[in-house]
Structure 1
Amino acid sequence: MVDFSTQAIHAGYEARCNGDAVSVPIYASAAFELEDALRGQALAAGIQEGFEYSRVANPTVDALERRLAALEGGIGAVALSSGMAAVSYALMCAGEGGGRIIASKNLYGASVDALGDFLPQFGIHADFVHNINDLDEVEALIGPDTRAIFAETVANPSTEITDLEPLAKLAHQHGIALIVDNTVPTPYLLRPIEFGADIVVHSTTKGITGHGNAIGGVIVDAGRFDWTNGRFPQFTRTEQVIADIEGNRRSFAGAFGNAAFIKRIRIKYLRTFGAVQSPFNAYLSLIGLETLPQRVSQQVASATAIAEHLAHTPHVIKVNYSGLGNTPQYALKAKYFPHGVGQILSFLVDGDVNNVRRIIDGVQLFSYVPNIGDARSLIVDPVNITHREVPEDYRLSAGVTGNLIRLSIGLESVDDLIADLDQAIAGAY
């Protein structure tokens, strides 16, 4: 098997097919020459691969999709304009027509809002669990309308780890899919498909692009789930949009087999709702991917050192970082994350919100930014920024209180970052 670092640079792209350009070109074209009538018909029917219109597919974006599918071990991917577009499309595609999604309360704020408040307006409802690793709690919520389980592989900001393997086994016993958000660890630290996940989503804005300069998202399909098992009528009914050249209506399962999900994402969701990844942003993500292993390795090492330091820092009363050896989830860390759980961590401080504000205002190297995975180190107060739309009981379940501070560790000197935190915390009291 080709090493991850090699795939991060070479997978999904052939220079000789792109004017011998070593770096993936930016194809700034809205549409593409169909060449002749028969080829145009075949492209439109999805029988022949190629490019016709950039709302559906673009060569630069295609290279990113192929590379991410290779890095995650999937059969295909669709890149989108944001991480929330990826989350929303994946959940809607699974739950379409009145399905229910089981999800952890310990999710990114916008995901909780989508599942708890917005998607129900489209007939898709969520059943939230307190602990996604409590299989009895999860199984008790599985009903005839349940379509999928949704979880984050590493929760943000608690860094709690999802025990994927037994969760996938439970889901598959009941004929439902496991959809996971793998944004925090990136495929370098974890490939969820290897542990049974069916669909993987990312905000590529974060660690994948890695420089805070391009919004994006991606959905990757493992290609193993049986979408014809009776729970998902959207994959077995025939539709005109994928009719063959003679005009015969086809179903997504019949036309595309094990690629039915990712094809439906592209042909129905991307084509209709239009959350299109721009070629320029795809190019920036491809450049970011080339250094993903090196960046993440350093960020994990620095995050671990900072977490260990904060655990013995005055006024810090708790550190949330599953990579530490004294956490209840350390066995899961050893199983799923031998190279570390990622670059984010959070910590609770004593005092009140005024102390939190003084810490945030007192740092000099950390930027006050609602993002993670940047080359720069970032700081934020989740209760006011990333989780402000989340109901209080859900926030508390995720450990988000007014005294919680989240860090995303970048590529600066770890000694400088520790010194910056020390002076800011000391100055806040």
Structure 2
Amino acid sequence: MTVDTARFATRAVHAARSRETAAARATPIYLTAGFEFDDFDHAADHFSTGTGFGYTRTGNPTVRAVERQLASLESGADAVLVASGQAAVSTALLSVVGAGDHIVSSTHIYEGTRGLFLDNLARLDIETTFVEDIADPDAWRAAIRPNTRALFAESLANARNDVLDVAAVSAIADEVAVPLIVDNTLATPSLLRPIEHGAAVVVHSASKFLAGHGSVLGGVIVDDGRFDAERAGHNAPHLVLPGRGGAPSVFSRHGGRARIAYARESVAPRFGASPSPLNAFLIGQGAETLSLRVERQSRNALEIARWLESQDAVESVDYAGLPSHPHHETAVRYLEGGFGSIFTFTLRGGLPAARRFVEDVRVFTHMTHIGDVRSLVLHPGTTSHAQRTDAERAVLGVGPGTLRLSIGIEDVADLIADLSRVLESVRETVA
């Protein structure tokens, strides 16, 4: 029997089946749960070696294409795409730490990541020490313990724009043969590529700048591919020792890419962090215009930050592109082509002024997101940083009147006009 001679219900299921190939210029979307095997041995080989594609949770051609794209943008050896930025952080960390281990982290990080450290990883007997002065190499070195297995920081911090001296901190990580994991979401590889400065692993919320359109969720882990079993094997026994049943070690199979291979084989699929191929496609499409968007957004942000700094209603502006920012010189050393588009500023009128501001904007959108083509505003003190104490918020530069801006690609004159109108209204409210 052939499909053509089969009955109606069978033809409905099978008539569209085709194994023809075509050279699509755009990345094709393989929106399928699984893939057909050629024969019995093909299936057995896939399950024994992991080569090829069998099930989308463990690998998909669309996802793989975008992984190669993002690894290249970050100057990495390989990448694993996952379902969200939070999944990227979790997968990266669970690829290097286990029960009884220790992490050293900057305190200037996304609150979801901080919660992961303090609530979730702590329940797995993984402890975290936070470094407040990230510009002090001795503070990082002093926090390291014999069981430290990773250093973690954001290249450009949310929300005060603290800039990481990647080379200095990665050198400290190298001293004890552990990876420096850098969240590069805010800087993007268009402005900074941490692996080029010594970082071992980079993570992103691909939902933000990499995608750029605010439509999908995704995350990515990029690895430098330089895992050295001789130097670092004692800190990563799961990579160098034989697997269950005497299976070859991850390092013996993948060499310097052992760390990212472990993330791909043993962490992301088992914890269910795999992304949708459709989301992967949209992230890949967005990444193609990353440099254009970041250039425009950074240029807009610098002009707006300068303008805000001159306004009487504004108490301070925390933007690394301004000479007034304490990390400006570090930003000049590391950021190429701009200073990013996300920063905070503080209104003199405190919480009433901030409330009036977010309720009065028209061009800006009041929402919890960053890296969009649209300009956004949020009040960190009552949203993203609400679980912090007043003292902790003060350390991070978040006060009652502090607002976070994510600058988009609109005409900067329209953005400043919106801000000018709102600030006039704020002045009248607090006068």
Same fold (TM over 0.5): yes
Distance (whole Å) between structure 2 residues aligned to residue 131 and residue 18 of structure 1: 55
Which whole-Å CA distance do the structure 2 matches of 1:325 and 1:289 have between them? Answer: 30
Listed as ranges, the matches of 1:412-427 within 5 Å are 412-427=410-425
What's the C-alpha RMSD, in Å, of the aligned pairs?
1.5
- CA–CA distance in structure 1, aligned partners of residues 95 and 324 of structure 2: 40
Tell me the equivalent position of 2:10: none
2:241 is equivalent to residue 237 of structure 1: yes
Aligned to 1:411: 409
Query: Aligned-pair distance for 1:391?
Result: 4.6
SS class of match (2:344): strand
Residues of 2 paired with 1:70 and 1:172: CA distance? 23
2:6 alignment partner in structure 1: none
Q: 2:233 touches 2:240 (CA, 8 Å); kept in 1?
A: no
Alignment of 1:242-391 (within 5 A): 249-391=247-389
Output the amino acid matched with 1:224: R
Give the letter for the 2:324 counterpart: N
Query: Any idea what the Cα deviations from partners look like across 1:66-116, whole Å, max 9, x if unmatched?
Result: 100111111111101000000111112211232111001111111111112
The answer to whether the 8 A contact 1:147-1:176 is kept is yes
* Partner residue in 2 for 1:84: 86
Could you tell me how far apart the structure 2 residues matched to 1:427 and 1:110 are?
33
Q: How do 1:21-420 and structure 2 match up within 5 A?
A: 21-46=24-49, 49-227=51-229, 228-240=232-244, 249-420=247-418
Note if contact 1:239-1:250 (Cα within 8 Å) is conserved in structure 2: yes
After TM superposition, give the deviation of residue 341 of structure 1 in Å: 2.2
Which amino acid in 2 is paired with 1:251? S
Give the 3-state SS of the residue equivalent to 2:65 in structure 1: helix
Aligned residues: 406
Q: Given that residues 112 and 390 in structure 1 are in contact (C-alpha distance below 8 angstroms), is that contact kept between their aligned partners in structure 2?
A: no
Structure 2: tracts of 5 or more residues without a match: 1-19
Distance in 1, Cα, partners of 2:324 & 2:295: 21
Does the 8 Å contact 1:103/1:132 carry over to 2? Answer: no
Q: Which structure's CA Rg is the greater one?
A: 2
- 1:313 is displaced (CA, Å) by 0.9
Relative distance call for 1:298 and 1:322 in structure 2 (3 A) is same
Name the CA shift for 1:256/1:165 in 2 (closer, same or farther; >3 Å): same
Q: Give the corresponding residue for 1:5.
A: none
CA distance in 1, matches of 2:395, 2:45: 51
Alignment check: 8 A CA contact 1:96 1:234 kept: no
In structure 2, distance between residues paired with 1:263 and 1:163: 28
Which 4+ residue blocks in structure 1 deviate beyond 4 angstroms? none
- 1: CA distance, partners of 2:337 / 2:119: 36
Identity level (%): 39
Contact persistence 1:110–1:389 (CA under 8 A)? no
TM (norm. structure 2) is: 0.91
1:20 is the counterpart of 2:23: yes
Offset of residue 392 of structure 1: 4.3
Contact 1:18/1:25 (<8 A) preserved: no
Q: TM-score, normalised by structure 1?
A: 0.92
C-alpha contact 2:67 2:79 (8 A) present in aligned 1 = yes
Unaligned runs of 5+ in 1: 1-16
| Matched position secondary structure for 2:268 | helix
State the match for 1:14 in structure 2: none
Q: Partners of 1:394 and 1:290 in 2: how far apart?
A: 38
Aligned equivalents of 1:93 and 1:392: distance in 2?
34
- Alpha-carbon distance in structure 2 between the residues aligned to 1:79 and 1:149: 21
Please give the alpha-carbon distance, in whole angstroms, between the structure 1 residues aligned to 2:60 and 2:387: 35
